[in-house]
Amino acid sequence: MRAIEMKAKLEEKIKALEEEKNMLLEEISQLREVAELSEKAKNLEDEVDKLRKEFRNLKGKIPQELLQEFDETVSSSVDEEKCSNCEEEEFM
């Protein structure tokens, strides 16, 4: 009788340990994914920061008059695109 009780206790312990093992393996998998995503986000932030700095540096080397003319040209061409798109939508 004592052997039956010991066997039952050991089986319960094994079952509990297997459940904990599976839970820990799942948690580890999830944490690895989070770590990878976090690292990817950090790398992209660094890359974007570098590009922003390069953009500001290059923009700083262009005379203001040219930048203003460029901004005006770009904004007027965007307005024209919007107007032509509006007209196309009206015909539909």
Give the angle 49-69-80 at the CA atoms, nearest 5°: 95
Query: Both 16 and 40 in a single domain?
Result: yes
What is the average pLDDT across 20-26?
98
pLDDT classification of 23: cutoffs 50, 70, 90: very high
Query: Both 73 and 46 in a single domain?
Result: no
Q: Which two tokens stand for residue 37?
A: 């995503």
Query: Both 35 and 78 in a single domain?
Result: no
Query: Both 35 and 69 in a single domain?
Result: no
Which pLDDT value is given to residue 92?
46
35-91 per-position pLDDT tens digit: 999 999 999 999 999 999 999 999 888 888 877 877 777 776 656 555 555 555 555
Query: Both 23 and 66 in a single domain?
Result: no
- pTM > 0.75: yes or no: no
What is the average pLDDT across 17-30?
98
